[in-house]
């Protein structure tokens, strides 16, 4: 018998669409009275006004139409998530072009060269760079090439592959956990929750900084211990094999940090700065910020002197890398489409309203966090989880007198911490495989750190609920 392979996020979400459609035949249809929330500029349910309505069971045609309607509803003409999906494809093309220039790789090599002899300080600096990638654009699959780059560097500095792998994985991971402007987590979740993604950014920034410090201390403490006594490495039995594999045939090839690459990194940073300013000050949304990244991609391509064919093919390949994320948004939002058309969304809200009635705001937000943790294992895609849960969770926050931005923070924290270890993640399993670190050993090593981070998250959410 072959080994069991966990289904992909697509299969899980499509299965959930079918389950929700089946539930529309069982769960009583109902609806709340709605009232305009001036702050949000949207209608929200009024607690205590739930009433049963005529049933609207959803069949096989509705199941097949749901992912399409999740992106664009051809019946109502509503846009759905198509603007977010297109934005993701464009930013994928942008990241593809920047990566192709070698600017990011060259920047990291520059840092490692500068610190030769003081290698342990590579850990906080590189973790800060990866955390910036995580909090800005949800750096995940893009981090995989850095394992190949860093493992030989860390071994040469008398550390071990665990130090290299954790620098990348925990660095980018803590950035994603503490996402501030990450379009694949915070922006999508806030959009689904009906609020600006800048709401609650101060708490997320505090969680990002505190989490980064904790992760840096954890990795540096281990690195120093391994350097003093290599037998304390969790992969000590593979030391000779790893040295031969990673350093035996190491050449002197490196990427020059040219003026062109410096300019490209500046443009890379400016694109995100313009996005923040446009959304926060000018009221931009997906169309405008998509145009910013499209323009930035073209500018970077021209500066790098790419041919027309190379620029367009690289952009398309970059977009292709994130096509799955774009599609998953439509599928995940299809679940909400089925719930809404089956008139069971408000019935589920009503049941949840009953469960949270009497809970303090602190208890509510912590229950919400653990619910998102459980769902993160089922739906490892942060964007898929956002559009699946936020339309349900955000209105519940209104009933519990908790700001919706805190629910977004609970979601991204839960998704972030699970994606540091989940075996369904290609980033976790792929990165550890490149570094030749066994998954079970990594899990045992990182478990106490996850416990510390969990306590910090729950304290931060509790304080946020009290403010």
List the end-to-end C-alpha distance of the chain, in Å, as a whole number. Answer: 55
| Phi, psi for residue 31 in degrees, rounded to 5 | -155, 145
- Residue 36, strand partner residues: 43
DSSP symbol at 4: P
Mean pLDDT of the chain: 84
Give the C-alpha separation, 234 to 443, whole Å: 11
Token pair 């990673």: residue: 246
Give the C-alpha separation, 336 to 357, whole Å: 24
Cα dihedral sign, 311-129-454-392: negative
Nearest to 455 by CA among 389, 364, 369, 374: 369
Give the C-alpha separation, 257 to 254, whole Å: 9
Cα→Cα distances 363→54, 358, 400, Å: 35, 10, 10
What is the average per-residue pLDDT within 267-290? 81
- Please name the residues in contact with 265: beta carbons below 8 A apart, sequence gap of 6 or more: 103, 104, 107
- What angle is formed at CA 66 by the lines to CA 64 and CA 68, rounded to 5 degrees? 90
In this predicted structure, the answer to whether residue 112 has a pLDDT above a threshold of 70 is: no
Helices 103-114, 122-137: axis angle to 10 degrees equals 160
Burial 429-448 (b: 16+ CB within 10 A, else e): eebbebbbbeeeebeebbee
116-146 residue pLDDT tens: 767 788 899 999 999 998 898 787 766 776 7
In this predicted structure, the answer to whether residue 446 has a pLDDT above a threshold of 50 is: yes
Length of the chain: 467
Is residue 313 a contact partner of residue 61, using CB atoms and an 8 Å limit?
no
Dihedral, CA of residue 327, residue 329, residue 335 and residue 337, to nearest 10: -100
Cα→Cα distances 136→223, 406, 460, Å: 27, 19, 21
Surface-to-core class of residue 367, CB atoms within 10 Å of its CB (0-12 exposed, 13-18 middle, 19+ buried)? middle
54-104 residue pLDDT tens: 999 999 999 999 888 888 866 555 556 788 788 888 988 998 898 889 887
In this predicted structure, the answer to whether residue 380 has a pLDDT above a threshold of 70 is: no
Nearest to 194 by CA among 329, 82, 40: 40
Dihedral, CA of residue 101, residue 107, residue 113 and residue 119, to nearest 10: -130
- Please name the residues in contact with 173: beta carbons below 8 A apart, sequence gap of 6 or more: 134, 416, 419, 420
Report pLDDT for 337. 84
DSSP symbol at 357: T
- Please name the residues in contact with 423: beta carbons below 8 A apart, sequence gap of 6 or more: 6, 429, 439
For the ranges 127-136, 209-218, 263-272, 317-326, the one whose mean pLDDT is highest: 209-218
Give the C-alpha separation, 360 to 368, whole Å: 12
Give the C-alpha separation, 376 to 385, whole Å: 7
DSSP symbol at 423: T
> For residue 274, what are its two tokens?
């313009």
DSSP secondary structure, 176-232, as one string:
HHT-SS-IIIIIHHHHHHTS-TTTTHHHHHHHHHHHHHHHHHHHHHHHHHHHH-GGG
Report pLDDT for 300. 96
318-360 residue pLDDT tens: 898 778 777 877 787 788 788 888 988 788 767 766 776 678 8
In this predicted structure, the answer to whether residue 280 has a pLDDT above a threshold of 70 is: no
Which of residues 199 and 427 earns the better pLDDT score?
199
Is residue 362 a contact partner of residue 467, using CB atoms and an 8 Å limit?
no
Is residue 437 a contact partner of residue 235, using CB atoms and an 8 Å limit?
yes
Give the C-alpha separation, 451 to 375, whole Å: 19
In this predicted structure, the answer to whether residue 366 has a pLDDT above a threshold of 50 is: yes
Kindly report the pTM of this predicted structure.
0.68
| Phi, psi for residue 283 in degrees, rounded to 5 | 75, 25
Which of residues 261 and 329 earns the better pLDDT score?
261
What is the average per-residue pLDDT within 387-391? 75
């Amino acid at each position: 018998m072959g080994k069991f392979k966990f289904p992909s996020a697509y299969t899980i979400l499509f299965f959930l669409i079918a389950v929700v459609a089946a539930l529309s035949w069982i769960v009583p249809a109902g609806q709340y009275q709605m009232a305009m929330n001036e702050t949000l500029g949207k209608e929200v349910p009024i607690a205590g006004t739930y009433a049963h309505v005529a049933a609207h069971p959803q069949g096989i045609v509705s199941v097949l139409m749901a992912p399409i309607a999740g992106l664009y509803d051809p019946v109502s003409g509503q846009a759905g998530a198509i603007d977010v999906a297109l934005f993701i494809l464009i930013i994928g093309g942008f990241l593809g072009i920047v990566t192709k220039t070698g600017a990011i790789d060259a920047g990291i090599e520059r840092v490692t060269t500068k610190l030769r002899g003081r290698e342990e300080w590579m850990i906080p600096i590189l973790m800060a760079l990866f955390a910036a990638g995580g909090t800005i654009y949800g750096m995940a699959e893009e981090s995989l090439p850095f394992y190949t780059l860093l493992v030989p560097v860390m071994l040469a500095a008398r550390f071990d592959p665990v130090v290299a792998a954790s620098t990348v994985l925990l660095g980018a991971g803590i950035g994603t956990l503490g996402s501030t402007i990450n379009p694949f987590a915070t922006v999508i979740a806030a959009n689904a929750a009906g609020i600006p993604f800048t709401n609650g950014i101060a708490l997320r920034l505090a969680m990002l900084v505190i989490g980064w410090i904790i992760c840096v201390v954890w990795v540096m403490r281990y690195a120093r211990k391994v350097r003093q006594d290599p037998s304390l490495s969790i992969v000590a039995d593979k030391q000779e094999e790893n040295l031969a594999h990673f350093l035996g045939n190491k050449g002197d090839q490196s990427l020059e940090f040219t003026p062109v690459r410096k300019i490209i990194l500046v443009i890379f940073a400016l694109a995100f700065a313009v996005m923040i300013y446009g959304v926060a000050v000018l009221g931009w949304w997906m169309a405008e910020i998509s145009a910013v990244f499209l323009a930035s991609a073209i500018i970077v391509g021209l500066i790098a002197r790419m041919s027309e064919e190379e620029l367009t093919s690289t952009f398309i390949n970059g977009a292709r890398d994130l096509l799955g994320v774009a599609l998953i948004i439509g599928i995940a939002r299809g679940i909400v489409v089925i719930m809404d058309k089956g008139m069971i969304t408000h019935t589920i809200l009503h049941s949840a309203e009953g469960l949270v009635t009497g809970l303090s705001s602190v208890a509510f937000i912590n229950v919400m966090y653990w619910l998102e943790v459980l769902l993160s294992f089922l739906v490892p895609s942060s964007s898929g989880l956002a559009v699946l849960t936020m339309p349900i969770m955000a209105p519940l926050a209104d009933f519990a007198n908790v700001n919706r931005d805190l629910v977004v923070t609970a979601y991204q924290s839960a998704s972030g911490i699970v994606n540091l270890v989940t075996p369904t993640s290609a980033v976790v399993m792929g990165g550890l495989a490149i570094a030749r670190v066994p998954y079970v050993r990594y899990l045992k090593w990182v478990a106490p750190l996850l416990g510390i981070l969990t306590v910090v998250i729950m304290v931060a959410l509790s304080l946020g609920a009290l403010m």
